[in-house]
Amino acid sequence: VDRIAIVVDAMGGDHAPSAIVEGAVQAARELQGLEVILAGPEAVVAAEVARHDVASLPLRVVDAPDVVAMDDSPVEALRRKKKSALHVGAGMVKEGLAAGLISAGNTGAVMAIYKVVVGTLPEVDRPALAACVPTPKGTTVLLDVGANVSVRGSHLQQFAVMGHFYSQLVLGVAAPRVGILSVGEEEGKGSDLTREVYDALKGGQLNFVGNVEGRDIFNGNADVIVTDGFTGNVALKVSESVVEAVTGALAKEAAAAGEPGKALMGLFAKAMRKFDYAEYGGAPMLGAKGCCIVCHGRSGSRAIKNGIRAALEFAKGKAGERIEQELLRMKAGKGPQAS
């Protein structure tokens, strides 16, 4: 069988290496057509792997002795830790030995190293980090959430195409509804930038639904929402902090209620699973060559498994090639095409 190889940074994230290795083992066991490559200091990773029964699993370890810390600057990690899992993994993607890399490590370092080692698609001006947001209707792809603090209209148009294909090929949405994040739904509302992009997308062939507002990120009124990395980053962090604040307030109330309160927190935790990033397979860096997925720093084994699954779907769907073709069409003045 031909298997698609995905490299996993065994040392990235708060619960590395144990949760990462566990998730990788689960992925190798459950997903079809996959080979998992765990990158990290060989002895450390091998010891973690030995805790699982991996006898017949398509899983191996490659040595990457340097470890990138969460507080290393991206530049430092890039220049001084050339034998990190990120460098080794990105190198394998570059050489065609693997289809993608996933990491729950330092986001800035992952993106910087991947961009330098593997590079971006020829037609992409700026890769974008895409967050997969849970909604009552499915999953909304919000991009950019932090790769590009300031962007031009042409970048946002590319983000729309990239988000379209991620939603379609990885999340399985047939005709993703694409919106622009703005401050009012009507055409003409928003900034000079959003108006420019509105006009461009209106004439294209994506399933464009116009302006959407902050409240639409979590209600599922669009499958793909494009914005600059500044606004997207703020929106994402606001949402995390609201969930924390609500949870904190409820926990306080529950603690005051004694035993019955404890039982109720269990029910609450169940409801909150819907908002658990672990379900959503991490944030892909769209527009990069190959496939690079950044998982949440707090990722447990389930998040890692789902991140690997997303990378596998991305590679199977040839999402990178589809994005590249579409951007070439746009460049030729043909406008975005839906499928």
List residues near a copy of itself by CB under 8 A.
135-136, 146, 149-150, 181, 183, 190-192, 213-219, 227, 229-231, 233-246, 248-250, 252-254, 257, 260-261, 263-264, 267-268, 270-272, 274-275
Task: Pick the closer one to a copy of itself by CB: 142 or 330.
Answer: 142
Write the DSSP assignment of 211-276 as a string of letters.
EE-GGGTTTTS-SEEE--HHHHHHHHHHHHHHHHHHHHHHHHHHHHT-HHHHHHHHHHHHHHGGG-
CB of 266 to a copy of itself, least distance (A): 9
Asked if 160 contacts 224 with a C-beta cutoff of 8 angstroms, the reply is: yes
Distances 143 to 117, 140, 235, 293 between C-alpha atoms, Å? 23, 10, 11, 14
CA distances from 238 to 144, 214, 232 (A): 15, 11, 10
Smallest separation, CB 156 to a copy of itself (Å): 14
Distance CA 24, CA 132 (A): 21
- Select 296 or 322, whichever has its Cβ closest to a copy of itself: 296
35 - beta bridge partners? Answer: 5
**Single-letter residue type at 272:** M
Cα–Cα distance, 172 to 65 (Å, whole number) = 38
**253 or 321: CB nearest a copy of itself:** 253
Return the number of the residue (42 or 125) whose C-beta is nearest a copy of itself: 125
Cα–Cα distance list, 9 to 87, 106, 327 (Å): 10, 11, 30
φ, ψ for residue 119, nearest 5 deg: 90, 175
In 5-140, alpha helices (H): 18-30, 42-49, 74-80, 85-94, 107-117
Residue 188 CB, nearest distance to a copy of itself (Å)? 11
33: tokens are 């057509």
Closer of 50 and 269 to a copy of itself (Cβ): 269
Q: Output the smallest distance, CB 111 to a copy of itself, in A.
A: 14
Which single residue is written with the structure tokens 């005051």? Answer: 256
- Minimum distance of a copy of itself from residue 226's CB (angstroms): 13
Which one-letter DSSP state was computed for residue 120? Answer: B
Which CB atom, from 21 or from 68, has the smaller least distance to a copy of itself?
A: 68
Q: What is the nearest approach in angstroms of a copy of itself to the Cβ of residue 209? A: 17
E strand or H helix at 138, and its extent? strand 138-143
CB neighbour list of residue 289: distance below 8 Å, 6 or more residues apart: 93, 94, 118, 119, 120, 121, 320
CB closer to a copy of itself, 108 vs 163:
108
Closest approach of a copy of itself to the CB of residue 242, in Å: 4
User: What six digits make up the tokens of 139?
Assistant: 């999953």
**Minimum distance, C-beta of residue 332 to a copy of itself, in the bound complex (Å):** 33
Question: Smallest distance from the beta carbon of 260 to a copy of itself, in angstroms?
Answer: 6
Nearer to a copy of itself, 80 or 274 (CB): 274
Q: Which is nearer to a copy of itself, 69 or 183 (CB)?
A: 183
